[in-house]
């Protein structure tokens, strides 16, 4: 009987993973969610992302001058993360039309490729296909990760690129080839451009390779060359990431944008009561959105086991694991305050959790091979993974069933307005005021026009007059029963919920 070739075995293993992943996506109803407009938790951030893409498409494909619909800054010019995802989305708008699902699909594609490389890492280091499949889906089955993997935020894309980078770096640790090192830094640099907090991974990789090699370089010219090359890639990565972030800060400063500011919220700057309140949110509310509770317990057991058997860890994994965990902990402490209200900050923790738990599991399998391969252990891990997957599926479904009456409601209130404006031949360049809209870009993205939002009735008359003097041409009230606007205007159209007024005299 002919022995199966490694290439054929790799193909069959990969095919099995993709089949299971696609079946899980069907269970999650991703084929339906893919075509939904922004909704649910963090609606504001979803529409910010789509606003960047739409303004590239509508106002010229000028990569380094990103804009949003809200004109709070000069001309709506604003920058946040490196806009490659939004630029690619805008490019695809030309052949396929301005469809929201395009950005969802890009995010899902990158995240899925990242999941696949997570599986490849597991397969390589656990040396067992069944265990690799089960453990991969245990890590993937995070409610937060899955929710944002088919969404508009860039976090899941940065996560996917990071896992691809880790795969190539660990291949480099085994084979010591420059190609793998270059690919590792390429994907990790791209991830860090999209979300700067992921730069902890290039740091961890560079330090974990260079530090232990310094003592060996005196008599090994090859090792000297490799260390220099690694440092060169790290410096280039650092310069690229710092250059974009410096430019974004400068760009926002000259355009007077004060909205897209990513501030650290370190634990040491918080009061004792704020720390206690944030921690209470994490352990009593958010933790059930991170993972199935028993999955978290299992990961904690792996953490303890990893510490107990730390001397048995393979040297190729030890330092990458150590420095990644240190970086991940540093990130958690630096952004601790953000964890109170932002569930997606947890996604940045997952690569560190994965690397450590993988290291611990690989060590345990090496230390106790007979026990690790026993069918009872594999059945237990498989059962936990299935429970975790179904738990995440339930939570993702629940998120889409819950109605957001505070932010996402604006899309219902403005339903049909965009079509009304197009039928009235209102130019796409016309400037609008939307009252009342709690989202900077949600309502404006819904109507496909630039302008301003008035959040509530507090100082609304003063604010409205200010926007009119800045060039507003139309006012949309999301409640038709509201009083006539306090400026000279004419009612020009109505929908079920909204009324559109054209401003006739500037005060």
Read off the pLDDT of residues 40-92 as tens digits, 9 standing for 90 and up. 889 999 999 999 999 999 998 999 999 999 999 999 999 999 999 999 999 99
C-alpha–C-alpha distance, residues 239 and 453, integer Å? 37
Q: What is the mean pLDDT of the chain?
A: 91
Q: What's the length of the chain?
A: 507
Between 484 and 347, the more confident residue is 347
pTM of the full structure:
0.94
Q: What is the pLDDT of residue 211?
A: 80
What sign has the CA pseudo-torsion 250, 253, 257, 262?
positive
Residue 277 has pLDDT above 90, yes or no: yes
Contact 61, 84 (CB under 8 A): no
DSSP string, 451-477: EEEE-SSTTHHHHHHHHHHTT--EEEE
Q: What is the pLDDT of residue 20?
A: 97
Over the stretch 155-172, which tens digit does the pLDDT of each residue have? Answer: 999 999 999 999 999 999
Residue 1: pLDDT band by 50, 70, 90 thresholds?
very low
Contact 497, 412 (CB under 8 A): yes
Between 263 and 396, the more confident residue is 396
Residue 405: pLDDT band by 50, 70, 90 thresholds?
confident
Residue 214 has pLDDT above 70, yes or no: no
Q: What is the pLDDT of residue 2?
A: 46
Most confident segment among 170-179, 211-220, 235-244 = 235-244
Give buried/exposed letters for 411-444 (b at 16+ CB in 10 A, else e): bebbeebbebbeeeebeeebbbbbbbbbbbbbbb
Residue 215 has pLDDT above 90, yes or no: no
């Amino acid at each position: 009987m002919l022995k199966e070739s490694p290439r054929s075995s790799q193909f069959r293993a990969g095919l099995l993973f993709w089949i299971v992943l696609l079946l899980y996506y069907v269970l999650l109803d991703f084929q339906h969610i893919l075509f939904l407009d922004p909704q649910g938790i963090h609606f504001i951030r979803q529409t910010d992302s789509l606003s960047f893409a739409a303004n590239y498409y509508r106002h010229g494909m000028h990569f380094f001058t990103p804009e949003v619909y809200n004109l709070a800054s000069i001309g709506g010019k604003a920058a946040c993360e490196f806009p490659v995802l939004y630029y690619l989305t805008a490019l695809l708008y030309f052949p396929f039309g301005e469809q929201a699902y395009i950005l969802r699909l890009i995010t899902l594609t990158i995240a899925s490729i990242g999941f696949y490389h997570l599986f490849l890492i597991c397969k390589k280091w656990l040396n067992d296909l069944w265990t690799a499949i089960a453990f991969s889906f245990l890590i993937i089955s995070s409610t937060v990760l899955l929710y944002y993997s088919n969404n508009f935020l860039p976090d899941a894309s940065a996560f996917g690129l990071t896992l691809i980078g880790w795969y190539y770096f660990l291949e480099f640790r085994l084979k010591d080839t420059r190609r793998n090192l270059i690919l590792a830094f390429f994907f990790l640099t791209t991830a860090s451009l999209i979300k700067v907090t992921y730069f902890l991974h290039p740091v961890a990789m560079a330090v974990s390779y260079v530090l232990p090699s310094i003592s060996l370089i005196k008599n090994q010219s090859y090792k000297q060359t490799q260390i220099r090359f690694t440092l060169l890639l790290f410096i280039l990565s650092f310069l690229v990431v710092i250059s974009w972030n410096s430019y974004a800060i400068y760009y926002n400063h000259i355009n007077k944008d004060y909205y897209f500011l990513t501030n650290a919220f370190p634990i040491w700057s918080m009061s004792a009561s704020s720390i206690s309140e944030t921690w209470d949110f994490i352990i009593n509310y958010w933790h059930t959105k991170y993972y199935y509770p028993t999955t978290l317990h299992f990961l904690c057991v792996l953490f303890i086991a990893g510490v107990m058997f730390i001397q048995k860890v393979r040297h190729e994994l030890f330092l990458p694991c150590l420095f990644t965990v240190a970086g991940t902990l540093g990130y958690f402490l630096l952004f601790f305050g953000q964890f109170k209200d932002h569930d997606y900050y947890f996604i940045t923790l997952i690569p560190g959790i994965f690397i450590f738990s993988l290291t611990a599991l690989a060590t345990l399998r090496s230390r106790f091979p007979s026990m690790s391969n026993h069918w009872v252990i594999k059945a237990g891990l498989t059962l936990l993974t299935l429970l975790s997957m179904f738990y995440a599926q339930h939570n993702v479904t629940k998120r889409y069933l819950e109605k957001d009456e505070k932010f996402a409601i604006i899309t219902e209130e403005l339903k049909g307005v965009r079509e009304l404006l197009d039928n009235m031949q209102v130019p796409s360049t016309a400037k609008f005021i939307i009252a009342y809209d709690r989202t900077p870009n949600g309502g404006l993205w819904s109507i496909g026009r630039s302008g301003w939002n008035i959040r509530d009735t507090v100082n609304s008359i003063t604010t409205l007059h200010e926007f009119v003097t800045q060039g507003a041409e139309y006012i949309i009230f999301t409640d038709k029963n509201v009083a006539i606007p306090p400026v000279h205007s004419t009612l020009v159209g109505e929908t079920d919920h909204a009324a559109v007024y054209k401003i006739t005299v500037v005060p």
